[in-house]
Chain A
């Protein structure tokens, strides 16, 4: 990539801000509150800074716990599912069902079971992250090159060797596909969870809770600031996953080596 390519996102960003100002000033004076100016949003970051920071941390914590739990359990689940078509046939429909229950419906049940707060938010995040990861990882574990499996069998490899020296590493690209999807979903899951099953007592509120407060207070620049804080949190999650993937795969995987075309 040439240095000019790296500048492109900066240019689109600047253009975006210019358009933003233009739209703001094209509105009639009475309507301008609907789209606060960018500098007003930045000002909101300053005035509401402490609240936003602690809300972001709380949401990050819930997102991280749910995401981490989903990584561990989906990996174990994928190993189980990869064992046989029989296991897959008997469990897949229930995974689908789990994925299809809307969080809004689940939230009151969760609140009954574990009360509003961190645990419920974590469980909601977990549920949102789990499905894409377990499906992708399973697909990876069962897509191993047939010849390599034969090679391992002819070499009298033990079952655990076939799984951990062959199937798991060849599933890595699939695993990361799931992980990237889950990383974008984790902060969203934690925010939605916070709205429906959060607990704000003692400064435990997250970004979802703050959204409700700011909108009740009609602090529109602060709402925009909350949205940006959520974006930043998402970037941190996805960025970490991308960095980890680069670390583990850039030496050998073709996707990190573009051809000239």
Chain B
């Protein structure tokens, strides 16, 4: 591995779109390398906006945001984004979809092919290279989307509710796979979700957010060691923490309603 995972630093960051309401206000947070941060909160609390800011797609309106010490639009682009939808190119096969980002970055064909094969077996899709997206299940499509994000060995991974549309079984499997891959590739992760169980299982820090304007309500550290497995889900500590975060989230949603 070349460079360590990224650092992300929000300092009193604020964001509003045009003359709209303040989506994000006085938001301060520092993500250390290899942090896995889950963002959870009522809709409209600016979770997805945070990801767009980090990705450099959208500028801040106040405060400061630094990715590895640089403004996000100038930061080295070892960043990958996984959308809520699989966001695949329907006219390309699985192989070609996974190669898309590498192709855009001008990675030579031989290297593309090697990386693609390695990543596809990492997400356990070895036998589906020549399928088209419409021939895949929801879970498989999401795996392809994840595979594409991982092809550039990102240092920073942004996931916007990637497993939200999947059934619980598939979601649990993909959560475990995501952590297994993380043992091999190290990234700093921001993960937006609506599922408390998912947030607690995956992250070392859970940020519960409040809305109008979007702010940090409470940060909850998750002390369980990695690698986490199915056993983690069975433990009473895990259940206690999930209950605690759920209660927090409910209290936020009550006040925001």
Chain A residues with CB under 8 Å of chain B are: 145, 147-148, 150-157, 161, 165-166, 169-170, 172, 249, 251-254, 257
Contacts and interface: CB of A to CB of B under 8 A. Distances in A.
5 tightest Cβ-Cβ pairs between the two chains A and B = A155-B104, A147-B87, A252-B132, A157-B104, A147-B83
A152 B100 CA distance: 9
Interface in B26-67: 55-57
15 contacts: A145-B87, A150-B55, A150-B81, A151-B81, A153-B57, A154-B56, A154-B79, A155-B100, A156-B77, A157-B104, A161-B104, A165-B103, A169-B91, A251-B132, A254-B134
Q: Majority SS of interface residues in chain B?
A: loop
Interface in B97-150: 100-101, 103-105, 132-134
B165 interface: no
Contacts of B91: 169-170, 172, 249, 252-253
Given A252-B91, A252-B134, 13 more contacts: A147-B83, A147-B84, A151-B87, A151-B100, A154-B55, A154-B79, A156-B77, A169-B89, A169-B91, A170-B89, A170-B91, A251-B132, A254-B134
Interface string B68-104: 0000000001010101110101111000000011011
Contacts of A148: 87, 89
Interface of B: 55-57, 77, 79, 81, 83-85, 87, 89-92, 100-101, 103-105, 132-134
Contacts of B134: 252-254, 257
A149 to B, nearest CB: 10
A253 B90 contact: yes
Contact of A252 (B81, B90, B100): B90
Contacts, number: 56
B57 A150 contact: yes
A209 B101 CA distance: 57
A251 B92 CA distance: 9
Contacts of B104: 152, 155-157, 161, 165
Contacts of B57: 150, 153-154
A170 B133 CA distance: 14
Contacts of A150: 55, 57, 81, 83
Contacts of B133: 252
A253 to B, nearest CB: 7
Contacts of A156: 77, 104-105
A152 to B, nearest CB: 7
Given A150-B57, A252-B133, A252-B134, A155 B87 contact: no
Contacts of A257: 134
A254 B132 CA distance: 11
A137 B67 CA distance: 40
A49 B104 CA distance: 57
Nearest to B57: A150
Contacts of B100: 151, 155
Contacts of B84: 147
Contacts of B132: 251-252
A145 B79 CA distance: 21
Tell which of B55, B81, B89, B105 has the most Cβ of chain A within 10 Å: B89
Tell which of B55, B85, B90 has the most Cβ of chain A within 10 Å: B90
Nearest to A249: B91
A153 B77 CA distance: 11
Nearest to A151: B87
Contact of A155 (B89, B90, B92, B101): B101
Nearest to B160: A147
Contacts of A172: 91
Tell which of A155, A165, A249 has the most Cβ of chain B within 10 Å: A155
B20 to A, nearest CB: 18
A16 B38 CA distance: 68
